[in-house]
Amino acid sequence: MTHLPPHPSLALHGIHHAYGGRTTVAQLSLSVEAGDICCLLGPSGCGKTTVLRCVGGFERLTAGSISMGGDVVSGQGRHVPPERRRIGMVFQDYALFPHLTVERNVAFGLKGGEGALQTARQWLDTVGLAAAAKRYPHELSGGQQQRVALARALAPQPRLLLLDEPFSNLDVALREQLATEVRGVLKATGTTAVFVTHDQNEAFAMADQIVVMDHGRIQQIDTAYNLYHRPRSRFVADFIGQGVFVPGRVREAQCLSIELGDVISPGPICYANDLAPCAPGSPVEVLLRPDDVVHDDASAVRALVKHKAFRGAEILYTLELPSGARVLSMVPSHHDHALNESIGVRLEMDHLIVFPPGEA
């Protein structure tokens, strides 16, 4: 399949949307470079699907504007209807026609008779389903049906591809695998895409940039690595990955103490949402990830095993410290400890993330 020409970028400028007097999206600005894959990630009701529908032209803005390749498609007194935006859509329920073969599903909407079928076969080859061209949707697995839906959306060579919870109907074990495969197809074809999900693993596997949303507003736009290791708000720190917050106190500019021991920072200790250094003696809450708390039989610091979740190669332990505070620790599964067993633990932290006490 010949690579598509570069796609225009997407720009959202201060968009606002309200429904029934309730604000669903508030002053949201975002840009997606040509060829990038952007994920809107957040809990149910955070506004991510509304943003996608606004980009697609299915919802009208209350304020702000949306541009594609510099051309305004929403806002500033203009609203280009969905069918004129050259946007491809992939839905969570696939929306395939059950009475059409796979190749005719992909060719639907294309012009050119046999030429359309030839284009459809090329796209089926791109998504690894050339052998299924003559089959019907009900003869395919859920993952195969989703790839057919992707091929159908890409066949008209849209300027932008929108995906709405594209893997939510699939088994958990298949989601990340298919997200990786879809990313490969989008990158190979140079397609600019925006997709919505509440599943972090899908976002991590597929996106170049992740937009974390809450209550209609952007909380942080970043890579998966930075969202996990450098969250800029308590919400992002709590929403992304697993972890717990434990109390601590700054001892000096680059050192703080928590129950598990002292933590040395490579630079001045600052709150994650404030560049000003914390004064010595300042109380803080420290985010501890499961990989920050290491099992070590030789450690003098002890903790009780209160819960264990077997993950195959690893076990996620919930550990209770002498104060009663609980932390998480991800341990290789050959270290199989019993409930209420006392084990040694120590800190091994590369990123220090602290917030003011009690911050929501």
Phi, psi of 132 (to 5 degrees): -100, 10
Nearest residue to 131 via CA among 121, 116, 118: 121
**148 falls within a domain:** no
Q: What is the mean pLDDT of residues 237-257?
A: 93
d(CA 169, CA 71): 35
Q: Are residues 206 and 334 in the same domain?
A: no
Run of H or E residues at 102: helix 102-107
Q: Are residues 173 and 225 in the same domain?
A: yes
Q: Of 213, 235, 257, which one is at a domain's C-terminal end? A: 235
| pLDDT of amino acid 266 | 87
| pLDDT of amino acid 360 | 58
| CATH code for the domain in which residue 57 is found | 3.40.50.300
C-alpha dihedral sign at 204, 235, 265, 343: negative
**153 falls within a domain:** no
| CATH code for the domain in which residue 321 is found | 2.40.50.140
| pLDDT of amino acid 8 | 46
208-221 pLDDT, tens digit per residue, is 999 999 999 999 99
Q: What is the mean pLDDT of residues 166-181?
A: 84
**135 falls within a domain:** no
**141 falls within a domain:** no
- State whether residue 62 is helix, strand or coil: coil
| pLDDT of amino acid 359 | 66
d(CA 59, CA 50): 8
Cβ neighbours for 184, distance < 8 A, ≥ 6 positions apart: none
Q: Are residues 332 and 185 in the same domain?
A: no
Distance between start and end Cα atoms, the chain = 50
Q: Are residues 174 and 321 in the same domain?
A: no
19-66 pLDDT, tens digit per residue, is 888 999 999 999 999 999 999 999 999 999 999 999 999 999 999 999
Nearest residue to 136 via CA among 94, 171, 176, 172: 94
Number of neighbours of residue 90 by Cβ within 10 angstroms: 24
Nearest residue to 214 via CA among 200, 228, 195, 233: 233
Q: Are 280 and 249 in contact (CB under 8 A)?
A: no
| pLDDT of amino acid 1 | 46
Cβ neighbours for 169, distance < 8 A, ≥ 6 positions apart: 92, 93, 94, 142
Q: Are 297 and 343 in contact (CB under 8 A)?
A: yes
Q: Are residues 228 and 253 in the same domain?
A: no
d(CA 255, CA 274): 17
Q: Are residues 219 and 249 in the same domain?
A: no
Q: Are residues 305 and 265 in the same domain?
A: yes
pTM value is 0.88
Total number of domains in the chain: 2
Domain of 297, in residue numbers: 242-355
Q: Are residues 75 and 212 in the same domain?
A: yes
Q: Are residues 231 and 172 in the same domain?
A: yes
Q: Is 80 exposed, middle or buried (0-12, 13-18, 19+ CB in 10 A)?
A: middle
Q: Are residues 231 and 260 in the same domain?
A: no
**134 falls within a domain:** no
